[in-house]
Amino acid sequence: MDVAIAILVLLFSLTVHESAHALAALRMGDDTASRMGRITLNPLAHIDPIGTIVVPLVMALLPGGIMFGWAKPVPVNTLRLRNPMRDHAVIAAAGPASNLVLAGVFAVLFGLLDGYAHARLQSGIVDLGAAYTFLRLLTQWGVLLNILLALFNLIPLPPLDGSWIMMAALKDELARSYARLYPYGFLLVIVLMNVGLGRLLWRGVLYVSAWYLQISNLVSRIFV
């Protein structure tokens, strides 16, 4: 059940991530993704069979594997953007930002569940039921996977979102030199993930999730 819940949360989180890209593109003047139906929470509009289904399932089943995946990239027509470099960076940042917000939502829900469990246990009810167990796992995965998606996508290597933010931050000549990484970016990400970046990323996830746990604890004390 744990793996199934994780994949369900990942699918929803990727859907929100890509919808945020599409919505940001529309706000920046490019309606390409909007016309393709990408501003939607229907996961079918965003699913990449390999990145959204096969890779997460394989990673979940591997011992010590980090659950991650990707959806269909949102198309961006830079000719429609008013300030292409800056606007593309904003569009790129919208995806990770949406995941950090979503992690906060899941943290609040986790806090409510924790408060509910505490109140029930105080009243002498030990068995909290299958629904509680399911929702607790759902919210835990919601926090962890959304932080993971945000941090992973902020890595400043193409084709990740962080690369567009980096491009906008660099001066013209440096940006052109940096752009030469794009044909090799995905391979570079895979290699680095297997030689230590993956472990470093997971440490970052655990560090950030500790801050989100503070949100959960606060909600648990105040609202329940």
Residue 175, Cα to own-chain centre: how many angstroms? 26
Which has more pLDDT, 21 or 117?
21
**Is pLDDT of 223 > 80?**
no
Domain locations along the chain: 2-223
Rounded alpha-carbon distances, angstroms, from residue 89 to 28, 92, 107, 165: 11, 5, 27, 5
Residue 215, Cα to own-chain centre: how many angstroms? 19
**Is pLDDT of 123 > 80?**
no
Instruction: Say what the pLDDT of residue 130 is.
Output: 86
Token output for 101: 């917000």
Token output for 76: 């961006």
Instruction: Say what the pLDDT of residue 66 is.
Output: 66
Positions annotated as catalytic residues are: 18
- Residue 193: CB atoms within 10 A of its CB come to 17
pLDDT (mean) for 129-144: 92
Which residue type sits at 138? L
Give residue-wise pLDDT tens across range 147-180: 999 999 999 999 899 999 999 999 888 988 888 8
Give the span between the Cα atoms of 202 and 188, in whole angstroms.
18
Least confident range of 29-43, 84-98, 111-125, 199-213: 111-125
Give residue-wise pLDDT tens across range 179-220: 888 888 888 888 887 788 888 999 999 999 999 999 998 888
